[in-house]
Structure 1
Amino acid sequence: MTRLSSKAGVFSLVLIAALTLAGCQSAPETPEASLYQQLGERAGIAQIVEDLLFLIVDDERINQQFKGMDVASFHRNLTDQLCQLSGGPCTYSGREMREVHADMAITDTQFNALAENLILAMEDNDVPTGAQNRLLKRLIPLYPDVRHL
């Protein structure tokens, strides 16, 4: 097994285990509600991203990676990206993930810390666990571009 497939495999297993465990705790959801609606539409997603920013600032594992960033631009771009990924009417117009993260040398620990903080922000905003898992599933394909595997 190559280093690439080994790391991606470990990440996938950890994420699947987390999603499975989280899924066991989820309350029944309204099946007709879209992921975008379950995230609170654009206003709800914007609040999740704002809460995520506060969690990032307090997280010693990752806050250095975000020093000096344009907070308003980050908030707008991540809100648009999550809105688009969730099936909302938004269009992400920011740079490609590979380009954004090119010189950051993000570790698995940092990547997982950000994912953990996103989950906490969604929990703080009462996003159903199933909806959290659906969003995380849509974010998984971005992993290789963020980590440059």
Structure 2
Amino acid sequence: MTRIVRAGPSLGLPLRAALVTLALWSGSASWAADDTLFRALGGDAGIARIVDGLIDRAYLDDRIKAKFDGVKQAALKESIRKQFCQLSGGPCVYDGETMRNSHAQLALTKADFNALVEDLQAAMDEQQVPFTVQNKLLALLAPMHRDIITK
């Protein structure tokens, strides 16, 4: 199990982001064996709220918003909602493109990836998702960095 110490406000956002990234890179995909994580995230409605917050933030995030030019926000939200739902053990089926194919032409860097992780964590914080539950979702998403970071 991946465990990290949550950085408090006095440590600042860069260190907190580094700790979250560490959790991502060292994560394991064993959390979705049942629907425990899905339920801990608030089920489909909770995941939808998290994804709404994530994408709303990403579209406003000066570091990465240009990467979303031409991407329909509603369709992206629906695709990511299905993906998070399935990964967390929920009843959804993700039928979207592979991460490698959908990100191949975007020339995404580690900094881009980390910015999106920060936006995701902020969205989960806003929904009062416990930190241990956040880490479980991040651990499931972590292996995707290999297909997303292309530059």
TM-score, with length taken from structure 2: 0.77
Q: How many residues align?
A: 127
State how 1:76-91 maps to structure 2 within 5 Å.
Answer: 76-91=78-93
Tell me the secondary structure at the aligned position of residue 95 of structure 2. coil
State the match for 1:51 in structure 2.
Answer: 53
Percent identity over the alignment?
42
State the match for 1:24 in structure 2.
Answer: none
Tell me the secondary structure at the aligned position of residue 92 of structure 1. coil
Could you tell me how far 1:147 is from its partner in structure 2?
A: 1.1
Tell me the secondary structure at the aligned position of residue 83 of structure 2. helix
Alignment partners' CA distance in 2, 1:17 and 1:83: 20
Give the ranges of 4+ consecutive aligned residues of structure 1 lying more than 6 Å apart after TM superposition. none
Structure ID, larger Rg: 1
Alignment partners' CA distance in 2, 1:84 and 1:17: 20
Tell me the secondary structure at the aligned position of residue 89 of structure 2. coil
**RMSD of Structure 2 on Structure 1 (CA):** 2.5
State the match for 1:121 in structure 2.
Answer: 123
For the 8 Å contact 2:24–2:142, the answer to whether it is kept is no
Tell me the secondary structure at the aligned position of residue 69 of structure 1. coil
State the match for 2:14 in structure 1.
Answer: none
Structure 1 unaligned residues grouped into runs of 5+: 1-11, 20-32
Matched to 1:54, the amino acid is D
The partner residue of 1:105 within 87, 107, 111 is 107
Matched to 1:140, the amino acid is A
Could you tell me how far 1:53 is from its partner in structure 2?
A: 1.6
For the 8 Å contact 2:21–2:117, the answer to whether it is kept is no
1:109-135 deviation digits (Å, cap 9, x = unpaired)? 110000010000001001110000000
Tell me the secondary structure at the aligned position of residue 120 of structure 1. helix
1:18-76 deviation digits (Å, cap 9, x = unpaired)? 89xxxxxxxxxxxxx81111111011101111111221122100000011101121011
